[in-house]
Amino acid sequence: MPTPAEQPRFDQPVVDQSGRVTQSWANYFLRMASAQSSDDLRALYEALAVKVAELEEGQDLNFQILGQQSITVNGVVQPGGVVIITLQGDTAAPGNTKYYGTGPTGEKGWFPVSGAISVSAGELTKTVGADGVTTFGLADVANSGAGTLLAITRDAKGRVTGTKAATITGTATQIDVANGTAAAGLPTLSLAAEVLASLGKADTAVQEVRPGANVTVDNTDPRRPIVSAAGGGGFVPYNIPDGQSFYVPADQQALFTLSINLGDGSSIVLDGALVEVS
């Protein structure tokens, strides 16, 4: 009888696709035939035939199909039976943009992707289209109507990265500012009281100095014009306004018959002669 080492390997088929015995098993059977009697071979053949018949009839299917995790098994393993393997909570048409997994309460099945995403109220908006696709946007906020002036810094994406107060201030004794932070409305600017007082004086100040008889006026400096006697002699005005000068040039003579009133900052520039006439 052949030894176990002479037996073909377990993965070598007994017959080929045409139904003929393969060469390795044919050689094995020949060695057995040469070592055993006809009765032994017949008994071996009959036992082999019984096993083949049992396999064909499915009488020796002693195994089970078990579903684990998300797998569900329906049916019984038996001759002619059908076993169906499915996912827990599966459906033939789950719809658009769905995922298989666990829902908000832990149950297994198909759920919309949009349902797994939420947004903060007042910050973002979420819209789910008919195709199940989710889009996001910035939520609109109401205008409170309040605020203060701020200087801001933005990055390349337009996000505010810095702020500081931008209060409007005036210059002392020149410009006054009300509500410089704009917290209570628009800021207003006005002239300081000192400026207004100065402008009030300008309304009564000398607007123009014009030459009279035998008098010349140098308006090079309009704030301090120079009034001069012309020709061989002349008269000094009895009033020299604020900030003005009366000039008597060299080699000239100016006469005055009354007391001369000098305003603030006014003067008589005397290069010639000033003579009082009694």
118 has a pLDDT exceeding 80: yes
122 has a pLDDT exceeding 70: yes
pLDDT band of 30, cuts 50, 70, 90:
confident
The pLDDT of residue 258 is 84
Bridge-based pairing of strands 160-165 and 134-138 is unpaired
Q: Contact at 8 Å (CB) between 139 and 122?
A: yes
The whole-angstrom separation of Cα 78 and Cα 66 is 15
| CB burial string 106-133: b at 16+ within 10 A, e below | eebbbbbebeeeeeeeeeeeeeeeeeee
Q: What is the pLDDT of residues 259-270, one digit of tens each?
A: 888 888 888 888
Pick from 75, 95, 93, 97: nearest CA to 84? 75
The whole-angstrom separation of Cα 125 and Cα 112 is 18
The pLDDT of residue 4 is 64
Segment 118-144 shows an average pLDDT of 91
Q: What is the pLDDT of residues 62-112, one digit of tens each?
A: 667 777 788 888 876 666 667 888 888 888 899 999 999 998 888 999 999
Bridge-based pairing of strands 215-218 and 239-240 is unpaired
Bridge-based pairing of strands 150-154 and 134-138 is unpaired
Q: What is the pLDDT of residues 171-229, one digit of tens each?
A: 999 999 999 999 988 999 999 999 998 888 877 777 777 776 567 788 888 778 877 76
